[in-house]
């Protein structure tokens, strides 16, 4: 999957416009970035793509420590954190709603029991008065 996305990027982007950040942004736009990102020597890319990928990998530390790449990674982390926060909030809201519904159910059940008991006592009193 990752190789297909890279091939697409290399095919639609001119060689002189290739950059690590733009590659990462293209990959992000197509799918979630996988932990299994590795370059294979036998991948089906054109020669320029192989050369560029080789240069990127040979200067991996330098390329991936650039400010642009760090900002891109920070944006990815921020998006992930926002999704996690949203999920947590949704779970808390659902839990609170469930708790409130259970409390209302319990209160309603108690009220029904009280009414049933008072009605049965009222019927008993009426029967005592009649007899």
pLDDT band at 61 (very low <50, low <70, confident <90, very high): low
88: which 2 tokens?
């947590």
93: which 2 tokens?
């809201």
For residue 31, what pLDDT is reported?
60
User: In terms of pTM, does the model score above 0.75?
Assistant: no
Q: Which structural domain, as residue segments, surrounds residue 41? A: 1-65
Least confident of 14-18, 23-27, 43-47, 113-117: 43-47
Structural domain count of the chain = 1
Residue 49 lies in a domain: yes
3-state helix, strand, coil in the chain (%, to 5): 80, 0, 20
Residue 84 lies in a domain: no
Residue 48 lies in a domain: yes
Residue 12 lies in a domain: yes
Q: Cβ(49)–Cβ(6) under 8 Å?
A: yes
């Amino acid at each position: 999957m990752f190789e297909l996305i890279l091939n697409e990027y290399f095919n639609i982007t001119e060689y002189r416009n290739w950059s690590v950040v733009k590659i990462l942004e293209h990959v992000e736009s197509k799918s979630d970035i996988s932990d299994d990102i590795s370059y294979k020597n036998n991948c089906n890319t054109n020669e320029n793509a192989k050369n560029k990928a080789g240069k990127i990998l040979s200067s991996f530390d330098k390329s991936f420590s650039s400010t642009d790449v760090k900002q891109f990674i920070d944006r990815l982390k921020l998006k992930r954190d926002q999704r996690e926060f949203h999920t947590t909030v949704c779970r808390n809201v659902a839990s609170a709603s469930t708790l409130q519904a259970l409390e209302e159910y319990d209160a309603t059940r108690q009220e029904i029991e009280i009414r049933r008991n008072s009605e049965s006592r009222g019927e008993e009193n009426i029967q005592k008065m009649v007899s």
